[in-house]
Structure 1
Amino acid sequence: MILKANNIFKSYGDLEILKGVSISVKKGEIVSIVGASGAGKSTLLHIIGTLDKPDKGTVVIENQEVFALSEKNIADFRNRHIGFVFQFHHLLPEFTALENVCIPGFIAGTDRKVVEQRGMELLETLGVAHRAQHKPAAMSGGEQQRVSVARALINNPTLVLADEPSGNLDSENATALHQLFFDLRDKLQQTFIIVTHNEDLARISDRTIHMRDGLIY
């Protein structure tokens, strides 16, 4: 297993969000997490991605118990091992597509030429190499989301975590993005955990995890 999250609890004040959730994922698997708003899906994803800490429980990624690390080492582990795709892209408006893609690679300390070459290769793979020197405002929503996927992949992460990645796209672009995840899995053996309300994506995933009231059922 590439990921094992065991007995995860999380509360904010008196509000209990996660009530003992466990999940394991194999390399190359595409797993969708579905459920109503407030079920705890995004909170679980953020904890798996080390963006938030559980009150109780463990998260092991590639045999590393991530919350046993120092804050600095957690940040370094996250940058190297976890890629994120969000609903609203979160591209930096002052940078070009290529620069946005390369930022995690620069943070990791990888040689600039190596990062830029991989960034261009990813943009080519994702069909947006012609947008490499364009800033986000000059790109469509579908193009911006493909750039954000390239950014998530720049450091060859162990896991890609996607939170409603097609929620801001029309049906045609959403379908294309979903197919892209499977193409990347087949080509790069990439592993995806996707929080989604999109029934079509959940249906074609390798596995669907249903959440309700902070629990998996």
Structure 2
Amino acid sequence: MLKAVDIHKRYNQLEVLKGVSLEIQKGEIVSIVGSSGAGKSTLLHILGTLDSSDRGECFLNGQAFHQLRDKRLAAFRNKHIGFVFQFHHLLPEFSALENVCIPGWLAGYRKKDVENEAKRLLDTLGLSHRLENKPHELSGGEQQRVAVARALINKPDIVFADEPTGNLDSHNAKELHDLFLDLRKQFNQTFLIVTHNAQLAEMSDRILRMSDGLIMEN
């Protein structure tokens, strides 16, 4: 489903990615692990269209998205890709429900349909009683669940998670691990996760180990 071929990235004199290739199948949970500076987050951001490579090709369901630019790239990202970050990046002035709805509204879907889907997701994630709460009124684990619901609102082909448990205590981290497994079971959702959390990595179908800008195991 997701395919990257010979991805290179350099920042000034620092070569961060040195020819990375990988394939992710539909419904897989794949983790990328490695020491800080190995290139994990840079690779994730390129695959998620948040950054561009200097060389290489990226495909999602056969679409060569490395060739897209500006509005077409933004529309592709919003429709096909979901993101969960270490810091939740929820908009503080909006409720949990509104934060989840925003990608759907940006995609141009009917407001009521988006709201109904957001409520369904938040209910699935155990947050039906928190719809009108703003981020500062939610716990860290609850904020991360809202971020997961937001990532899923447009039914993306793949969710990219960059250190999703890095800001959570062990209890909430365990709950998020279980949530990813549940979402794969319920929706056949695909995840690519960058993590330092050994437990999160171990529950994945595959672990890709990065070192010095290359994948050492695939």
Q: Smaller-chain TM-score range? A: over 0.9
State the alpha-carbon separation in 1 of the partners of residues 98 and 112 from structure 2: 12
Gaps of 5+ in 1: none
Count, aligned residues:
216
Matched residue type, 2:43? L
Q: Identify the residue that residue 69 of structure 1 maps to in structure 2.
A: 68
1:36-83 superposed Cα distances (whole Å, 9 cap, x missing partner)? 000000000000000000000000001100021232111100000000
**SS of structure 2 residue aligned to 1:83:** strand
1:157, CA displacement in angstroms?
A: 0.1
The DSSP-based 3-state class of the residue aligned with 1:147 is helix
> For 1:99-178, what aligned pairs fall within 5 Å after superposition?
99-178=98-177
What per-residue deviation string (whole Å, max 9, x for no partner) do you get for residues 89-131 of structure 1? 0000000000000000000000000000000000001111111
- Structure 1 ranges of 4+ moved more than 3 A: none
Q: Distance in 1 between matches of 2:38 and 2:131?
A: 38
Name whichever of 64-73 and 26-35 sits farther off: 64-73
TM-score by structure 2 length? Answer: 0.98
Aligned equivalents of 1:88, 1:129: Cα separation in 2: 22
User: What does 1:33-48 align with in structure 2 at a 5 Å threshold?
Assistant: 33-48=32-47
2:49 aligns to what SS in structure 1?
Answer: coil
Counterpart residue number, 2:17: 18
Over aligned residue pairs, what C-alpha RMSD do you find? 0.5
1:197 corresponding residue in structure 2: 196
Structure 2 counterpart of 1:182, which letter? L
Q: Which runs of 5+ in 2 are unaligned?
A: none
Return the TM-score normalized by structure 1. Answer: 0.99
Q: Distance in 2 between matches of 1:106 and 1:78?
A: 14
